[in-house]
């Protein structure tokens, strides 16, 4: 009970009231944390977020950050983080005992090096999640990547647990590859669905992507429940080179640009299929087909 009481004593402020900053502020407010200051270059965004999360201050001016703030989140574009940190130092805003955390998935806590002091913790705090416009969902079960000073990460870890999230730690060196993986899992999946829509657009099923979405959902469910390898199905896993060749021939005739992603992903599937037991006799024709249609 004592630890829980201490958690609730944290006073949170945010620089950046975009999709991520606003979602975090609302989520912590929902879990009864005190949200003190919302700062954004767009005053209307700051005021809207202030209203939704019960903050005391909504402003464009970082000098209006409540000095009682104990954890300050910086949720702005990556290229702005170092500039914000320098401005915070200039105005003597980080106070002893404060945790300052940016929410970039790419950058390490070093982006805040200008404000590092023995009694001020700097960290990076990244929810591994997608935030569309006006996101109102809960963040329970979401994983949060923490990196930075030990004391700051310890307090951020408590915050994550308090909203039902799952904190985990990254090294500074791992952040770039971690963020690349996040981008591929989210943005590249959206791009893949656009390619699927383009393929359907060459058929009578134009604009009927919704008919394939249950297949997508079931595949993701399988990955979660039984793992990536065991979720693999389809012609490449079976070594069905005739089907793959027909696919590529049809794609080439409709839009030659669609063959490249099919081949790139197909080669990855083929590597997996070999590990899962596909013999070379069946694998070789697939390699030949990919080489023929892929130009190598």
pLDDT, tens digit, 9 for 90 and up, residues 2-23: 444 444 489 999 999 999 999 9
What pLDDT, on a 0 to 100 scale, did the predictor assign at position 30?
A: 93
Give the residue among 61, 58, 52 at the shortest CA–CA distance from 24. 52
Class in CATH terms, 177-294: mainly alpha
pLDDT tens across 72-131, in order?
A: 999 999 999 999 999 999 999 999 999 999 999 999 999 999 999 999 999 999 999 998
Instruction: Tell me the average pLDDT of the chain.
Output: 93
Cα distances from 109 to residues 13, 86, 147, 222, in angstroms, run 18, 14, 7, 35
> Residue 106: helix, strand or coil by DSSP?
coil
Give long-range contacts, CB 8 A cutoff, 24+ apart: 5-12.
7/158, 7/159, 7/162, 8/32, 8/33, 9/70, 10/34, 10/70, 10/71, 10/155, 10/159, 11/36, 11/66, 11/68, 11/69, 11/70, 11/71, 12/36, 12/69, 12/70, 12/71, 12/72, 12/73
CATH classification code of 2-170: 3.40.50.720
What pLDDT, on a 0 to 100 scale, did the predictor assign at position 208?
A: 86
What pLDDT, on a 0 to 100 scale, did the predictor assign at position 203?
A: 83
**When comparing pLDDT for 204 and 20, which is higher?**
20
- Asked whether residue 226 carries a pLDDT value surpassing 90, the answer given is yes
Contact 44, 103 (CB under 8 A): no
| Residue whose token pair is 């408590």 | 158
Biggest distance spanned by C-alpha atoms of the chain: 70
Give CA–CA dist 122/149, Å, rounded. 6
**Count of CB atoms situated within 10 Å of the CB of 278:** 19
What pLDDT, on a 0 to 100 scale, did the predictor assign at position 9?
A: 81
Give CA–CA dist 296/191, Å, rounded. 25
What pLDDT, on a 0 to 100 scale, did the predictor assign at position 197?
A: 92
pTM for the whole structure: 0.90
Band of residue 36 on the pLDDT scale cut at 50, 70, 90: very high
Going through 158-290 in order, the beta strands assigned E by DSSP cover 166-169
pLDDT tens across 235-287, in order?
A: 999 999 999 999 999 999 988 899 999 999 999 999 999 999 999 999 999 99
- Distant-in-sequence, close-in-space partners of 258: CB < 8 Å, separation ≥ 6: 195, 198, 199, 251
What pLDDT, on a 0 to 100 scale, did the predictor assign at position 135?
A: 67
Looking at residue 97, what DSSP letter applies?
T
- Asked whether residue 206 carries a pLDDT value surpassing 80, the answer given is no
Domain ranges of the chain: 2-170, 177-294
What pLDDT, on a 0 to 100 scale, did the predictor assign at position 133?
A: 74
What pLDDT, on a 0 to 100 scale, did the predictor assign at position 3?
A: 46
Percent share of the chain, pLDDT over 70: 95
Phi-psi region of 295 (alpha: psi -120 to 50; beta: other; left: phi over 0): left
């Amino acid at each position: 009970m004592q630890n829980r009481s201490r958690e609730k004593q944290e006073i949170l402020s945010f620089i950046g009231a975009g999709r991520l900053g606003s979602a975090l502020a609302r989520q912590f407010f929902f879990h009864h944390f005190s949200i003190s200051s919302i700062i954004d270059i767009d005053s209307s965004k700051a005021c809207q977020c202030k209203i939704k999360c019960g903050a005391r201050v909504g402003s464009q001016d970082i000098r209006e950050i409540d000095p009682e703030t104990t954890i300050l989140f910086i949720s702005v574009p990556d290229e702005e983080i170092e500039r914000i940190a320098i401005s915070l130092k200039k105005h003597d805003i980080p106070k002893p005992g404060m945790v300052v955390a940016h929410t970039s998935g790419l950058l390490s806590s070093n982006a805040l090096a200008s404000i590092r002091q023995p009694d001020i913790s700097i960290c990076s705090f990244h929810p591994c999640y997608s935030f569309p416009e006006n996101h109102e969902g809960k963040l329970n079960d979401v994983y949060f990547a923490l990196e930075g000073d030990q004391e700051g990460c310890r307090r951020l870890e408590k915050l994550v647990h308090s909203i039902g999230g799952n904190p985990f730690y990254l090294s500074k060196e791992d952040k770039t590859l971690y963020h690349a993986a996040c981008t591929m899992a989210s943005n590249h999946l959206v791009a893949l669905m656009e390619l699927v829509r383009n393929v359907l657009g060459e058929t009578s099923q134009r604009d009927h992507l919704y008919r394939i979405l249950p297949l997508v959902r079931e595949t993701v469910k399988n990955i979660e429940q039984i793992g990536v390898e065991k979720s693999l199905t389809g012609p490449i896993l079976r070594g069905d080179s005739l089907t793959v060749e027909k696919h590529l021939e049809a794609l080439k005739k409709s839009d030659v640009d669609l063959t490249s992603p099919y081949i790139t992903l197909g080669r990855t599937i083929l590597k997996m299929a070999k590990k899962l037991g596909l013999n070379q006799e069946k694998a070789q024709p697939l390699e030949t087909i990919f080489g023929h249609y892929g130009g190598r």
